[in-house]
Amino acid sequence: MNKELLEKCKKKLLEEKAKILERYFEKEETQQRLGEESKEPRDWEDIGQMTYTEELLDNLSQVEMATLKEIDYALEKIDKGVYGICENCGEEIPEPRLCAIPWTRYCAKCAEEVEREMGTYMPSYGVEGMYNPENIQVEREDIGEA
């Protein structure tokens, strides 16, 4: 991997890490404010909305914390000189994939295999022909032919 690409990926990793940490601190402030607001008597709708918001923030936080760990791991790999190598097949991960997901551990082919094994694989069916009017069939009994 050339030095220019390595620096570009490292910069993207550090930028994404900073964004996640900023959102995390904002989330903490929001949860603290919600906690203070929940001490005041509210109606059921307000309580439901606050509960929903707290759960949403927690779920986002879990995903972002996992991403943050992957970013730190990728930065470690840069320091050790093994960044950009697929952990499954040992091949170099193509530049477009690293630019899109700089914390990835696998090339696209191996990522698919790992996702299949973990049960998180979502196949792409493409969009060709999806919106073709010939493929749309409407069956309604209340409309007769004109």
Q: What is the pLDDT of residues 83-103, one digit of tens each?
A: 999 999 999 999 999 999 999
CA-angle at 10, arms to 76 and 87, nearest 5°: 50
**Which domain, by its residues, includes 84?**
3-121
Contact by Cβ (8 Å): 3, 78: no
Residue 139 neighbours by CB distance under 10 Å: 5
Q: What is the pLDDT of residues 17-60, one digit of tens each?
A: 898 888 877 776 766 666 665 555 566 666 566 666 666 666 66
| Total domain count, the chain | 1
Contact by Cβ (8 Å): 10, 75: yes
Question: Hey, what are 129's tokens?
Answer: 């022909």
pTM for this entry: 0.64
Indicate which CATH number applies to the domain containing 58.
1.20.120.910
